[in-house]
Amino acid sequence: MFPLYMRFISTGTVCTYARYSCLCLPCPCKQVDYIQRRGYKKKWAKNEGSKPHTVHALNHMEAFYKPVFKERWPSIRISLLTTSKYCALLNNYNSENEKVEKYLTDLGTYNAMEKAKLARAKYLEKENQQIVTEQSSLPIESLIDFPKRPSHSEVDENDDVNDDDEDVKEDIQPVVGKNTSLYDFIPTKRVYTDKELLQQHIARVATFDDSLLEVPVKVIQEQVPELPEDLKFFVYPKGDISKFPNPKMKHGNLLGYYMMDAASLLPVIALDLQENDSVLDLCAAPGGKTLAMLQTLKTENLTCIDESWSRLSRLKDISKWYIGETPSSMSVSKRDGKLLEDPFYNKVLVDVPCNTDRHVLISEDNNLFKPGRMEERLELPKEQMELLVAGIKSCKPGGTVVYSTCTLSPAQNDGVIHAAMDHLWKETDIDTVVIDISYLRPIFKDIFTFFPKTKYGQLVLPTLSSNFGPMYICKIKRIR
């Protein structure tokens, strides 16, 4: 029985009968109407308006992706909200990989690399190209006309501006006229709230306007490289949404195949690894692309770095399950990739942290669109640019860098490429060119769907029939 002073006749009305009547008289209130006030308080004002982080992510994409992809967006949107498709990367370190290959074929899958090699041969025949293994005798510097970069002395001379310069006077007093007093009131045209300023900042960070480009970025053609002979991955045909069984150790002493998004293999293919290459995986963890590079059997010197111990532990686990002991040619260390500057490598993979479009649409855990991570999300393009610049600085002249993300964001794709080129042009003596890798589209057109309107790289779009991606890939060559 509740205390007499804690009774309610109905919600919000306190029973005062027993307080002013003899205690021996029964209360006329029904027991079912007694509600205890203590401990019951609905915090509707605080919780009613909150939205899941996934909804914030979807609203962001509706605002900034839809204008870019236009009529393609409805298909992309529903594909992102649907379970993604995986491939099975064959483990060449397994002692019985032939049995694993037969097992995968019996599931109804096919080796996508074999199909891509046939498509490559047809593409070369159609374009009347020849496979050339030897490089041109002329250095690439002589084939590219780079604009003259202003020297530091010229910049210093320009900084010493004469006080009598008319342009400087106009810059100092752009609004105030000769007859204007400091006490004259000039009304403000528009006052922006903090929310409006934040929205403007988000719009600047999330978009890429190529009409404002000032720094020249050269895009050159290259010979279509050979596809990795030992890299094999199996996929179900288009429209088949069957799933691969979880790999087991029944075939050999290691796991027979690794399940991953097939589009994640394109950066490794674009890297065009060769024997004796010195390779840097700048953001190696959790290790899917690192494992793919190892499957090419051409990584005699592979350096893997990441700034997260937890992610590096995941990479080491993958190495243990698929390779066994870490190969002597592979080193793993915790470092901040943005601090690298010494050119020790001739192949660099920069798979940067990004919006991770699929994850933020389906998972609330550690979602990048939670209010507490807004500042981190807005700083992503800057961090990506710094990682790419560090990757280019770590690359030897004549070497190549592949930049990749798993987002559709133009600002984090083509926008970061141009921001890095702008930084290198203004702050360093490094010259770079973007290599056209549009040949990936006809070679892998039966497996992936590509977006044809990117400026520098290639972008895989998720579709219901082939739900891989998103994945952006751009290849850069350091000249000097």
Q: Model confidence over 402-426: pLDDT tens digits?
A: 999 999 999 999 999 999 999 999 8
DSSP string, 100-147: HHHHHHHTT-EEHHHHHHHHHHHHHHHHT-----SPPSS-HHHHS-PP
The reported pLDDT for the residue numbered 123 is: 93
Mean pLDDT of 351-375: 92
306 is in an annotated binding site: yes
The reported pLDDT for the residue numbered 29 is: 56
Give the pLDDT band (50/70/90) at residue 176. very low
Mean pLDDT of 88-106: 93
The reported pLDDT for the residue numbered 366 is: 87
Give the pLDDT band (50/70/90) at residue 464. very high
Mean pLDDT of 326-340: 89
The reported pLDDT for the residue numbered 134 is: 43
Q: Measured between alpha carbons, how far is 65 from 406 in angstroms, rounded to an integer?
A: 14
Mean pLDDT of 231-235: 98
Please name the residues in contact with 103: beta carbons below 8 A apart, sequence gap of 6 or more.
Answer: 251, 256
Quick one: which of 134, 123, 127, 140 has its CA closest to 400?
Answer: 140
Q: Measured between alpha carbons, how far is 27 from 377 in angstroms, rounded to an integer?
A: 61
All structural domains of the chain, each given as residue ranges with its CATH number in brackets, are: 4-43 (no CATH), 54-132+215-478 (3.40.50.150)
365 is in an annotated binding site: no
Q: Measured between alpha carbons, how far is 150 from 143 in angstroms, rounded to an integer?
A: 21
139 is in an annotated binding site: no
Q: Which of 4-18, 318-332, 438-452 has the highest mean pLDDT?
A: 438-452
The reported pLDDT for the residue numbered 4 is: 46
Q: Are strands 301-306 and 233-235 parallel, antiparallel or unpaired?
A: unpaired
Residue 250 dihedral angles phi and psi, to the nearest 5°: -75, -20
Report the DSSP beta bridge partners of residue 129: none
Tokens of 433: 């060119």
Q: Measured between alpha carbons, how far is 291 from 207 in angstroms, rounded to an integer?
A: 33
**Sign of the CA dihedral running 181, 184, 187, 193:** positive
- pTM greater than 0.85 (yes/no): no
**Chain CA centroid to CA 72, Å:** 20
Token pair 């640019």 in the structure block, residue: 385
Mean pLDDT of 200-212: 65
Rg of the Cα atoms in the chain: 30
Measured CA to CA in angstroms, residue 462 lies from 23, 54, 241, 277, 467 at distances of 74, 18, 13, 32, 5
Of 15, 304, 406, 474, the active-site residue reads 406
Identify whether the C-beta of residue 401 lies closer than 8 Å to the C-beta of residue 391.
yes
Is the pLDDT reported for residue 299 higher than 90? Answer: no
Is the pLDDT reported for residue 372 higher than 80? Answer: yes
Is the pLDDT reported for residue 433 higher than 60? Answer: yes
Tokens of 325: 């002991």
Q: Measured between alpha carbons, how far is 102 from 86 in angstroms, rounded to an integer?
A: 18
Residue 4 or 292, more confident: 292
Residue 275 or 4, more confident: 275
Q: Measured between alpha carbons, how far is 454 from 477 in angstroms, rounded to an integer?
A: 18
Tokens of 430: 């490094």
Mean pLDDT of 323-337: 88
The single-letter code of the amino acid at 262 is A
- Return the half-sphere exposure (C-beta side, CA atoms, 13 A cut-off) of residue 415: 18
The single-letter code of the amino acid at 346 is N
User: H or E stretch including 376?
Assistant: helix 374-378
Is the pLDDT reported for residue 375 higher than 50? Answer: yes
The reported pLDDT for the residue numbered 42 is: 56
- Calculate what percentage of the chain has a pLDDT beyond 70: 71
**What pLDDT digit, counting tens, does each position of 376-396 carry?**
999 999 999 999 999 999 999
The reported pLDDT for the residue numbered 209 is: 65
Mean pLDDT of all residues belonging to the chain: 82
- What's 457's DSSP letter? S
**What pLDDT digit, counting tens, does each position of 244-294 carry?**
999 988 767 899 999 999 999 999 999 999 998 999 999 998 999 999 999
Structure-derived torsion over alpha carbons of residues 378, 379, 380, 386, reported in degrees to the nearest 10: 160
Report the DSSP beta bridge partners of residue 433: 477
Q: Measured between alpha carbons, how far is 413 from 473 in angstroms, rounded to an integer?
A: 8
- Return the half-sphere exposure (C-beta side, CA atoms, 13 A cut-off) of residue 224: 22
**What pLDDT digit, counting tens, does each position of 119-137 carry?**
999 999 888 755 444 444 4
Q: Which of 162-171, 299-308, 328-337, 463-472 has the lowest mean pLDDT?
A: 162-171
Q: Measured between alpha carbons, how far is 234 from 31 in angstroms, rounded to an integer?
A: 69
Token pair 């236009």 in the structure block, residue: 70
Mean pLDDT of 162-173: 44
Q: Measured between alpha carbons, how far is 189 from 187 in angstroms, rounded to an integer?
A: 6
Residue 284 or 178, more confident: 284
Identify whether the C-beta of residue 228 lies closer than 8 Å to the C-beta of residue 296.
yes
The reported pLDDT for the residue numbered 143 is: 47
Task: Tell me whether residue 406 is one of the annotated catalytic residues.
Answer: yes
Residue count of the chain: 480
The reported pLDDT for the residue numbered 273 is: 96
286 is in an annotated binding site: yes
Quick one: which of 448, 413, 438 has its CA closest to 68?
Answer: 413
- Calculate what percentage of the chain has a pLDDT beyond 90: 60
The reported pLDDT for the residue numbered 306 is: 93
284 is in an annotated binding site: yes
